[in-house]
Structure 1
Amino acid sequence: MLIFYGHPFSSYTWKVLIALYEKGIEFDYRSVDPAFPDHMPELKAYWPVGQFPLLVHDGVPWFETSIIIEYLDHLAPEPRMIPLDFDAALKVRLFDRIFDHHVMNRMQEVVNDALRGPENHLPIIVEQTHARLDIIYAWLDKELAGGGWATPYGFTLADCAAAPSLFYADWVYQIPEAYENLRAYRARLLAHPTVSRCVEEARPYRPYFPLGAPDRD
């Protein structure tokens, strides 16, 4: 049995959960929510940095979401999250990095600013993040003009990264109506069964969101 450490409201936890659910792999889900105080010390015994999610298989820890999902492809090859073809795999990995670095991590900068409290608020961080998100939103809108998933290779690692990225980024800086392709892609992601499952499992934790969770999702 795989052991999986994460939190239902965590964007990067979602990324791996979606892959686990897509593959139908059984696992022992150990939430690191404060309601389960024993789980974070367990995680840190494997990975002292304390970041999650983390997967443990046969006593070996695997961390960093893209690496975990690649390992899941090794354990359960179907459905593949990373294509075997080199060019296809490169495209999928490219979009995975774009969603992680240019959407998810940008969004987190605004969340971190809110967590610091109003006395330590830095408006320039929010302004810069909104500007950078607008640039990547515009780029993604053009890339996704054909509809479907992030790449032409079915539901992949790229979409596992895109779902939590766009879910929370839209809460931080709502995708403008002009970006119809991107908005439609986000809607397709949220309607996908494995993504919808993550959304519902996280719903009880919405009060954790420091900016206030909108009612639209």
Structure 2
Amino acid sequence: MKLYYNPLSSYSQKVVIAFYEKNVQFTPEMINVMDPAARAEYTKVSPFGKIPLLVLDDGRKVIESTIIIEYLEDYYGSSGTRLIPEDKDLAREARYLDRFFDLYINDAMQKVFFDGMKPEDQRDPRGVAAAKLTMDRAYATADELLATRTWAVGDVFTMADCSAAPSLGYAAMVYPFDKYKNLASYANRLSERPSVARIRTEAAPFMAQLARG
């Protein structure tokens, strides 16, 4: 299997965490999303240019981070960490929280981050304010949920935590959540998880390069 990804992409990190948790081997194919020529070439593989993208050995494509994790659980369920619980109610909650961290924290965080990179006269203050409001509500919701839980769904690490790790990792830099103590403690636990620590170590040189411009 070949995974098209970028080590700084939060959705790529989400999927790579899942691969590491499942102990499933893959061939990484890094896409430089900042290079217009590389992006144009990549559209030959993925028409919308989105990452991550998993290409199976028979050429079939699995698109979207959540669907890739679903694929891993369907075909490698007995390997490594079970990321979608067998219990139907817990499985449904894991899927919901996967979307929760993606939509209400990660996507809102990206709005704030990328808007800040634009020239002053091209920024969208109303959009940023709306994104921060969404994040505040998500932080409060997650903080309450995590008051009695080790991981997002409870005592077991799931696909929801694969989503939460990159979302919260970047959110902490863009719009910190220190006052939400349960959420902050959860983020620390995620940071100590070997799969999460590994993807952050792998991303560090690229983050440093980005910071240098």
TM above 0.5, one fold?
A: yes
Counterpart position of 2:201: 200
Residues 83-94 of structure 1: pairs in structure 2 closer than 5 A:
83-94=85-96
Distance 2:125 2:5 in 1: 31
CA contact 1:8–1:202 (8 Å) conserved in 2: yes
- Give 1:26 shift: 1.2
Counterpart position of 2:8: 9
Residues 132-171 of structure 1: pairs in structure 2 closer than 5 A:
132-152=134-154, 154-171=156-173
- Normalised by the length of structure 1, the TM-score is 0.88
Cα deviations across residues 48-97 of structure 1 (Å, max 9, x unaligned)?
Answer: 00100000112011111110000011221132211122111101011111
For 2:168, give the aligned amino acid.
L
CA contact 1:5–1:39 (8 Å) conserved in 2: no
Counterpart position of 1:63: 63
- Give 1:12 shift: 0.4
Distance 2:134 2:36 in 1: 37
Counterpart position of 1:130: 132
- Normalised by the length of structure 2, the TM-score is 0.90
- Give 1:128 shift: 2.2
SS of the residue aligned with 1:161?
helix
Cα deviations across residues 163-206 of structure 1 (Å, max 9, x unaligned)?
Answer: 011111111110032x1100000000011000011111111122
Distance 2:34 2:116 in 1: 23
Distance 1:34 1:168, change over 3 A: closer
SS of the residue aligned with 2:27?
strand
What's the RMSD between the two structures over aligned residues? Answer: 2.2
List gaps (5 residues or longer) in structure 1. 213-217
Distance 1:147 1:208, change over 3 A: farther
Distance 1:36 1:124, change over 3 A: closer
Distance 2:104 2:38 in 1: 30
CA contact 1:3–1:55 (8 Å) conserved in 2: yes
Counterpart position of 1:215: none
Distance 2:200 2:151 in 1: 18
Select between 125-134 and 165-174 the one with higher mean Cα deviation. 125-134
For 1:165, give the aligned amino acid.
S
Distance 1:17 1:35 in 2: 20
Pairs aligned (count): 209
Distance 1:53 1:18, change over 3 A: same
Distance 1:209 1:123, change over 3 A: farther
Distance 1:187 1:42, change over 3 A: same
Distance 1:76 1:154 in 2: 18
List gaps (5 residues or longer) in structure 2. none
Q: Which runs of 4+ in 1 moved over 3 A?
A: 34-43, 207-210
Distance 1:34 1:43 in 2: 9
CA contact 1:88–1:153 (8 Å) conserved in 2: no
Percentage identity across paired residues of the two chains = 39
